């Protein structure tokens, strides 16, 4: 059973460009969480999604950031018009949410660098 997959692993964007980060949850997992880790800091929650539904987006910046988890395909975190402050590691986690097991399993992360 493959783990949580994220791609790309490293992404370089110039200021003003768009960044698209992808997350494929573990097989059988229908819940996805996105977290951001700024340099030398802990992880901060951004958004929690089920397929075709945003459950909690209280950690998402109000502008330029959006997330989706379509019926088919990976979850996408989209950052429009990136700025230097968006440079961070973005981690996706998935959970099964069944049988009392809700543990989140983390992917390898996408390291975004904005130049």
Q: Does 95 bind another protein (CB under 8 A)?
A: yes
Q: Candidates 16-24, 63-71, 72-80, 94-102 — which segment interacts with another protein by CB under 8 A?
A: 94-102
- Asked whether position 106 contacts another protein by CB under 8 A, the answer is yes
5-7 and 53-56: which strand pairing? unpaired
Task: Indicate which single residue of 2, 14, 39, 42 sits in contact with another protein (rule: CB under 8 A).
Answer: 42
Question: Is there binding between residue 99 and another protein (CB under 8 A)?
Answer: no
3-state DSSP of the chain: CCCCEEECCEEEECCCCCEEEEEECCCCCCEEEEEEECCCCCEEEEEEEECCEEEECCCCCCCCEEEECCCCCCEEEEECCCCHHHCEEEEEEEECCECCECCCEECCCEEEEEC
**Minimum Å distance from CB 38 to another protein?**
11
Binding flag, residue 43, another protein (CB under 8 A): yes
Question: CB 108 → another protein: shortest distance, Å?
Answer: 5
**Contacts with another protein, residue ranges (CB under 8 A):** 31, 33, 35, 41-45, 48, 56, 59, 91, 93, 95, 97, 102-109, 111
């Amino acid at each position: 059973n493959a783990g949580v997959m994220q791609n790309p692993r490293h992404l370089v964007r110039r200021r003003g460009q768009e960044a698209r980060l992808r997350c494929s949850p573990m097989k059988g997992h229908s819940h996805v969480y996105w977290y951001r880790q700024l340099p030398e800091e802990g992880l901060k929650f951004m958004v929690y999604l089920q397929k075709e539904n945003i459950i909690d987006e209280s950690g998402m910046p109000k502008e330029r950031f959006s997330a989706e988890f379509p019926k088919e395909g990976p979850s996408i975190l989209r950052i429009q018009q990136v700025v230097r402050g968006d440079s961070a590691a973005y981690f996706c986690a998935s959970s099964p949410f069944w049988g009392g097991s809700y543990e989140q399993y983390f992917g390898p992360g996408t390291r975004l660098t904005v130049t």
